[in-house]
């Protein structure tokens, strides 16, 4: 099993309106095989960036090619992208005045979901049906799946240059998801994969590799998400999950070059 990255477990509720920033992740704690897997994913992400750059394009520009400019909260593509084999799902959207965008540099973000059977013994909370869900990031539902078992893994913010700049987690009311504690979500990270080519092969592959590249940060965000929610007050977890004062729970600024550099440095220190 991978050694999990160190995270800051103090001061978990400084401001209920903004996501708590994740402490620096120490990649040197990871074994070589995990670093090599991340390095391979990083190479794939850079490769797609270079392909798109040749046509003066970006991930979001490529996704929106030929489409009308989406309005606030519109899912792109409509109905989301769902992989029937892995159960993974995602959509891109934008909305003004995001609490997780303190620098005002985001043009939108991808919400990524995983699907698995519900196990109530691990702290899972039942899904709210779409007619009752009150959040603005509720995933689209496809025939044969429904909402049961669908959990929000992470969101990936895109900056004005079309590059990934931030990861963040949301509270349950935002997505109407099946809530799973971090200990149940971490094993599902590796399950996220969009293995088909519709509606956009490059975007599907890019997102799949981004999840692999930033796996340690996603673990940290999910773990700290749980700690922060538990630390807000002595109220039951169900109360915090529906608290509209808590929308973005944890956040982490990222760049692909910085992550690849950190992986390279950690690999150089690994014992053969």
DSSP track, 234-264: SS-HHHHHT-TT--EEEEEE--HHHHHHHHH
Q: What CA–CA distance (Å, rounded) separates 127 from 14?
A: 28
Q: Are 187 and 222 in contact (CB under 8 A)?
A: no
Name the residue with higher pLDDT: 54 or 124: 54
Name the residue with higher pLDDT: 230 or 209: 209
**Pairing between β-strand 106-115 and β-strand 20-21 as defined by DSSP bridges:** unpaired
What pLDDT does residue 117 have? 74
Residues whose CB falls within 8 Å of the CB of residue 158, separated by 6 or more in sequence, listed in order:
58, 59, 60, 106, 107, 108, 109, 110, 164, 165
Task: Tell me: pLDDT of 38 over 90.
Answer: yes
Band (pLDDT 50/70/90 cuts) for residue 1 is very low
What pLDDT does residue 62 have? 86
Mean pLDDT, the chain, whole residue set:
82
**Range with the poorest average pLDDT among 22-36, 74-88, 105-119, 121-135:** 121-135
> Over the range 160-173, which residues count as b (16 or more CB within 10 Å of their CB) and which as e?
eebbbbbbbbbbbb
What pLDDT does residue 121 have? 65
**H/E element, 165:** strand 164-170
In angstroms, how far apart are the furthest CA atoms of the chain? 55
**Range with the poorest average pLDDT among 31-45, 57-71, 170-184:** 57-71
Q: Enter the tokens of residue 251.
A: 């956040």
Q: What are the residues facing 249 on neighbouring strands?
A: none
Band (pLDDT 50/70/90 cuts) for residue 25 is confident
User: Over pLDDT 70: what percentage of the chain?
Assistant: 76
Name the residue with higher pLDDT: 156 or 19: 156
Q: What CA–CA distance (Å, rounded) separates 248 from 26?
A: 23
What pLDDT does residue 101 have? 52
pLDDT tens readout for residues 235-262: 888 889 988 889 999 999 999 999 999 9
For residue 227, what are the CA distances in angstroms to 10, 124, 149, 193, 240? 9, 16, 22, 27, 12
Q: Enter the tokens of residue 88.
A: 């993974």
What pLDDT does residue 127 have? 53
Mean pLDDT for 69-95 is 84
What pLDDT does residue 213 have? 98
What pLDDT does residue 14 have? 36
Mean pLDDT for 129-137 is 53
Q: How many CB atoms lie within 10 A of CB 27?
A: 20
**What size, in residues, is the chain?**
272
What pLDDT does residue 272 have? 59
Mean pLDDT for 22-43 is 91
Name the residue with higher pLDDT: 47 or 95: 47
pLDDT tens readout for residues 189-208: 999 999 999 989 999 999 99
Rounded to 5 degrees, φ, ψ at 147 are -90, -20
Q: Are 7 and 220 in contact (CB under 8 A)?
A: yes
């Amino acid at each position: 099993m991978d050694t999990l990255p160190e995270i800051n477990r103090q001061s978990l509720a400084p401001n209920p309106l903004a996501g708590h920033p994740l402490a620096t992740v120490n990649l040197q704690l990871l074994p070589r095989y995990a670093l090599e897997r991340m390095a391979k994913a990083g190479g794939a992400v850079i490769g797609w960036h270079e392909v798109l750059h040749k046509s003066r394009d970006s991930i979001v520009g490529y996704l929106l090619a030929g489409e009308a400019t989406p309005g606030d909260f519109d899912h792109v593509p409509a109905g989301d992208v769902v992989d029937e084999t892995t159960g993974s799902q995602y959509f891109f959207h934008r909305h003004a005045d995001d609490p997780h965008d303190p620098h005002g540099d985001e043009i939108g973000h991808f919400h990524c979901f995983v699907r698995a059977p519900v196990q109530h013994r691990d702290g899972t909370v039942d899904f709210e049906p779409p007619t009752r869900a009150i959040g603005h990031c509720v995933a689209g539902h496809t025939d044969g799946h429904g909402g049961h078992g669908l959990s929000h893994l992470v969101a990936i913010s895109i900056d004005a240059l079309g590059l990934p700049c931030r990861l963040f987690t949301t509270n349950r009311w935002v997505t109407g998801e099946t809530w799973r504690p971090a200990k149940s979500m971490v094993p599902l990270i590796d399950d996220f994969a969009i293995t088909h080519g519709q509606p956009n092969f490059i975007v599907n592959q890019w997102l799949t590799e981004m999840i692999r590249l930033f796996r340690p940060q996603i673990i940290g965000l999910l773990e700290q998400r749980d700690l922060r929610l538990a630390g807000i007050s002595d109220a039951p977890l169900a109360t915090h999950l529906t608290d509209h004062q808590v929308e973005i729970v944890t956040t982490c600024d990222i760049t692909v070059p910085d992550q690849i550099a950190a992986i390279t440095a950690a690999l150089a220190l690994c014992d053969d």
